[in-house]
């Protein structure tokens, strides 16, 4: 949208919102703790009448712990939705008018964890081959009812497309969270194992309600502590809570633990003593946690130890751990987030160069976990070229829910479009339609072990995620890990209805805001394929940052601004990273004239005066994005205000205040980039845009405040 159009649009919205201004707000003390499991009373009379036909009893065919929790959830949910206490009955023969949870090895579902819900003999029957499936089916039924949908022709069948659907917590033993913006860690290691915080159960419920079935409790930059008996029993106490909701517990491991904790001379993966140490360790863990999920490993990355310290490969390291897991169900998840300190290298290419030669060399128990993009969770990245290029190694995808590069907990960025953009990207490895989703769900290359991981955005903030709207990213991740074919819009609608309001008009405003939020963020933060993965706290704009202990820990390494232009040439005339993709993909991004604008500077160094497909020069186009992005935050504020009468006042105010911060910081980012790039482009701010009120030196000063010790 041009600036003029935007302004017109804003004034229209302001006028149309005036009628709401006098409305008063109500608050029932909604603090966000209940997430999307609020179970507000059903208000549609005809729907309520339908539901009341099925509240005579709940029957369960078995009585495992998970089943028990499914029953409890139904009781809690229905009590709140319909105001009825429903009793549990065992025998169901000849009875009708109830809800039947039926564990049935022959249930007609695609997967063990899948469920089927339908009307049979006057009952709502939820059936599955597993207790987990019953729990997921129960949550699906409750979701349906929370959305006040008819049960007249109820028939749902759903199975997960991914086997390991897990959160990765980057939580440290001292309670801090690496890149966490929602308070401290949920896990209270100093209280465990005796005191088990009740919040662990609510965490497990929330995860199960969206299909998440695994959690890694500690940071990938791992402490060896977690391998000690003292900590294993603490972890076991948490695992006990998780188990009741079908969630397996995993740990990140410190590769050098045999040395630092075990007192061995070495942690060389080929050393028999080291191998024996890990076998013993894994056995010790299984004694306490019989359903332990496995290990997550960051090795030889950003200073973490690993097999290369001993001249061994990632496969040697992973396979040693896999050997220790042979007697058990558990798996080894080995991260591909690696990049060496090589001044001449392109960090973009590093993971591919290290891992592709190892394809076929990993034990079948190993899954390699790949970040969605080749670099590091940028607001927009092309898909990692590893996807599709390791046909013999199951590759899982890692997304980041915590908003490390997305404005922490103050900027509203709905991330489902980021996940979907990645999953829907075509790798072309087996011809057209070879999407990343098909690689990850195993359908393209036949992986048995499929994985989707999300770096958690959860802390001990009362509302779990700090920013109320960031709950949607947790929700969306779970829903997509179950079914990646759901659309961003569908998920946003569901979440908004379950969490914020049943008012349709308000839902439209909020969903609209959510769906545009990522693009707006990209516009004022890193438009046209810019990126900003330099070292530091990742809060403030610092495009000028040119000092670091290695070149790829500076900002200038990534944007390559100079008097000629801007962007990283990754074609054959540059780093040739494009060669890591199939020709069809290369073709999309190889020619600067044809590269879609959102990816332009990822692959090309473009002249300031170059005319782009938009008809504007690069400089004009950049300014248009920076300015439109920052101005669009005002539009977001207006959308939020339009929804105000339909929102709880506490949530309304919380988000409204965060949007104010976002607006201020969006202008900050815009000004920092524009003023800095102007020193190279040597061009005035294009007509129609108001030049920044501050000088570059002033912006730098304000940024420096945030960098001070
Ligand atoms: C980067 C983070 C760093 C993490 C690292 C990782 O800045 O804190 O440890 O990724 O994923 O995004 O290992």
Q: How confident is the model at residue 1 (pLDDT cuts 50, 70, 90)?
A: very low
178 pocket-lining for ligand 1 (C-beta < 6 Å): yes
- What is the pLDDT of the chain when averaged over all its residues? 95
Q: Quote the pLDDT of residue 28.
A: 58
Sequence ranges of the domains in the chain: 45-158, 164-486, 522-568+605-707
b (16+ CB within 10 A) / e for 579-611: ebbbeebbebbbebeebebbbbbbbbbbbbebe
The pLDDT of residue 415 is 99
Per-residue model confidence as pLDDT tens digits over 332-375: 999 999 998 888 899 999 999 999 999 999 999 999 999 999 99
Whether 657 shows a pLDDT value over 50: the answer reads: yes
Phi/psi region, residue 178 (left: phi>0; alpha: psi -120 to 50; beta: rest), is beta
For ligand 1, atom 10: residue with the closest CA: 376
pLDDT at 6: 45
Q: Which residues contact 233 (CB under 8 A, 6 or more apart)?
A: 192, 193, 288
DSSP alpha helices (H): ranges in 484-551? 488-499, 504-525
Q: What is the pLDDT of residue 61?
A: 79
Taking the chain, what is the end-to-end CA distance rounded to the nearest angstrom? 41
Q: Which atom of ligand 1 lies nearest, measured to the CA of 301?
A: 13
Give domain 45-158's CATH superfamily: Chitobiase/beta-hexosaminidase domain 2-like (3.30.379.10)
Measured from the CA of 179, which atom of ligand 1 is nearest? Answer: 8
What is 522-568+605-707's CATH number? 3.90.1330.10
Q: Is 268 in the pocket of ligand 1 (CB under 6 A)?
A: no
Tell me: the pLDDT tens digits for 236-249? 999 999 999 999 99
**Which among 376, 381, 402, 539 is the best mutation to test ligand 1's pocket, defined by most ligand atoms within 8 Å of the CB?**
376
Q: How far apart are CA 554 and CA 550, in angstroms?
A: 7
Percent of the chain with pLDDT over 70: 96
Statement: residue 2 has pLDDT above 90 = no
Contact of 88 with 74, CB cutoff 8 Å: no
Instruction: List phi, psi (to 5°) of 368.
Output: -95, 125
From atom 9 of ligand 1, which residue's Cα is the shortest distance away? 221
Does 534 contact ligand 1 (Cβ within 6 A)?
Answer: no
The architecture (CATH level 2) of 164-486 comes to Alpha-Beta Barrel (3.20)
Is residue 140 scored above 80 in pLDDT?
yes
**Nearest CA to 251 among 272, 275, 234?**
234
For the segment 87-135, what is each residue's pLDDT rounded down to a tens digit? 998 767 789 999 999 999 999 999 999 999 999 999 999 999 999 999 9
Ligand 1 closest atom vs CA 455 = 11
- Among 25-29, 308-312, 468-472, 544-548, where is mean pLDDT lowest? 25-29
Please indicate whether residue 298, judged by its CB atom, sits closer than 6 Å to ligand 1: yes
Q: Is the pLDDT assigned to residue 15 strictly greater than 80?
A: no
Whether 377 lines ligand 1, by a CB cut-off of 6 Å, is yes
Q: Whose CA is nearest to atom 12 of ligand 1?
A: 376
DSSP state string for 505-522: HHHHHHHHHHHHHHHHHH
What strands lie across the sheet with 99-103, from one edge to the other?
88-89, 58-60, 99-103, 123-128, 115-120, 155-158
Mean pLDDT in residue range 536-563: 94
Cβ(217) to ligand 1 under 6 A?
Answer: no
Instruction: Provide, rounded to the nearest whole percent, the portion of the chain with pLDDT above 90.
Output: 92
Ligand 1 atom with minimal separation from the 371 CA: 11
pLDDT in tens, 186-211: 999 999 999 999 999 999 999 999 99
CA distance 420 to 437: 9
Determine if ligand 1 sits within 6 Å of the CB of residue 220. Answer: yes
412-436 residue pLDDT tens = 999 999 999 999 999 999 999 999 9
């Amino acid at each position: 949208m041009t600036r003029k159009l935007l302004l017109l649009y804003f004034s229209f919205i302001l006028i149309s919102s005036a009628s709401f201004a006098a409305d008063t707000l109500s608050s029932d003390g909604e603090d966000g703790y209940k997430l999307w499991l609020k179970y507000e009373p059903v208000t549609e009379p005809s729907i309520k009448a339908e539901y009341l036909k099925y509240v005579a009893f709940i029957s369960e065919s078995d009585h495992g712990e998970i089943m028990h929790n499914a029953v409890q959830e139904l009781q809690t949910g229905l009590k709140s939705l319909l105001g009825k206490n429903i009793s549990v009955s065992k025998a169901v023969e000849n009875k009708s008018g109830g809800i039947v949870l039926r564990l049935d090895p022959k249930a007609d579902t695609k997967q063990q964890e899948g469920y089927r819900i339908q009307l049979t003999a006057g009952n709502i029957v939820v059936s599955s081959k597993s207790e987990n499936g019953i729990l997921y089916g129960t949550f699906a039924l409750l979701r349906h009812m929370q959305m006040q949908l008819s049960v007249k022709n109820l028939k749902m069948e759903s199975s997960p497309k991914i086997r390991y659907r897990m959160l990765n917590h980057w939580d440290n033993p001292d309670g801090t969270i690496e890149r966490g913006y929602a308070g401290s860690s949920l896990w209270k290691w100093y209280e465990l194992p005796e005191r088990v915080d009740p919040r662990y159960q609510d965490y497990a419920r929330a995860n199960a309600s969206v299909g998440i079935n695994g959690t890694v409790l500690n940071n990938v930059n791992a402490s060896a502590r977690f391998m000690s008996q003292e900590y294993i029993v603490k972890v076991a106490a948490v695992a006990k809570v998780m188990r009741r909701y079908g969630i397996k517990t995993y740990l990140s491991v410190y590769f050098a633990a045999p040395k630092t904790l075990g007192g061995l001379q070495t942690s060389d993966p080929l050393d028999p003593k080291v191998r024996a140490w890990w076998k013993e360790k894994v056995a010790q863990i299984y004694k306490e946690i019989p359903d332990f999920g496995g290990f997550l490993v960051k090795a030889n990355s950003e200073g973490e130890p690993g097999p290369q310290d001993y001249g061994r490969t990632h496969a040697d390291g992973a396979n040693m751990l896999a050997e220790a897991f042979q007697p058990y169900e558990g798996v080894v998840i080995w991260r591909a987030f690696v990049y060496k300190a090589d001044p001449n290298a392109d960090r973009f290419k590093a993971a591919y160069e290290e891992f592709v030669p190892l394809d076929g060399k990993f034990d079948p128990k190993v899954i390699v976990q790949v970040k969605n993009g080749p670099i590091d969770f940028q607001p927009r990245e092309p898909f990692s070229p590893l996807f599709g290029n390791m046909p013999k190694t199951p590759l899982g995808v890692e997304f980041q829910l915590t908003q490390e590069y997305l404005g922490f907990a103050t900027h509203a960025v709905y991330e489902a479009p980021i996940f979907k953009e990645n999953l829907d990207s075509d790798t072309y490895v087996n011809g057209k339609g070879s999407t990343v989703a098909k690689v990850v769900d195993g359908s393209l290359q036949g992986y048995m072990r499929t994985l989707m991981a999300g770096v958690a955005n959860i802390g001990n903030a009362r509302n779990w995620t700090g920013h109320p709207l960031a709950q949607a990213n947790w929700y969306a991740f779970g829903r997509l890990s179950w079914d990646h074919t759901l659309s961003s819009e569908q998920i946003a609608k569901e979440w908004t209805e379950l969490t914020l309001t049943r008012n349709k008009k308000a839902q439209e405003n909020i969903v609209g805001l959510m769906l545009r939020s990522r693009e707006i963020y990209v516009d004022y933060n890193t438009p046209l394929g810019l990126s900003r993965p330099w070292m530091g706290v990742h809060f403030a704009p610092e495009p000028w940052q040119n000092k670091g202990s290695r070149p790829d820990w500076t900002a200038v390494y990534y944007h390559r601004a100079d008097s000629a232009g801007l962007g990283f040439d990754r074609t054959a005339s540059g780093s040739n990273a494009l060669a890591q993709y199939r020709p069809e993909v290369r073709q999309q991004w190889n020619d600067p004239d044809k590269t879609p604008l959102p990816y332009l500077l990822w692959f090309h160094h473009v002249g300031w005066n170059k005319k782009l497909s938009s008809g504007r020069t690069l400089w004009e186009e950049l300014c248009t994005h920076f300015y439109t992005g920052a101005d669009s935050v005002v539009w977001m504020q207006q959308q939020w205000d339009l929804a105000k009468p339909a929102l709880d006042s506490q949530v309304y105010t919380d988000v409204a205040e965060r949007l104010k911060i976002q607006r201020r910081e969006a202008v900050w980012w815009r000004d920092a980039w524009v003023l800095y790039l102007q020193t190279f482009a040597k061009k005035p701010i294009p007509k129609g845009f108001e030049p920044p009120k501050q000088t570059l030196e002033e912006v730098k000063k304000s940024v420096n405040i945030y960098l001070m010790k």
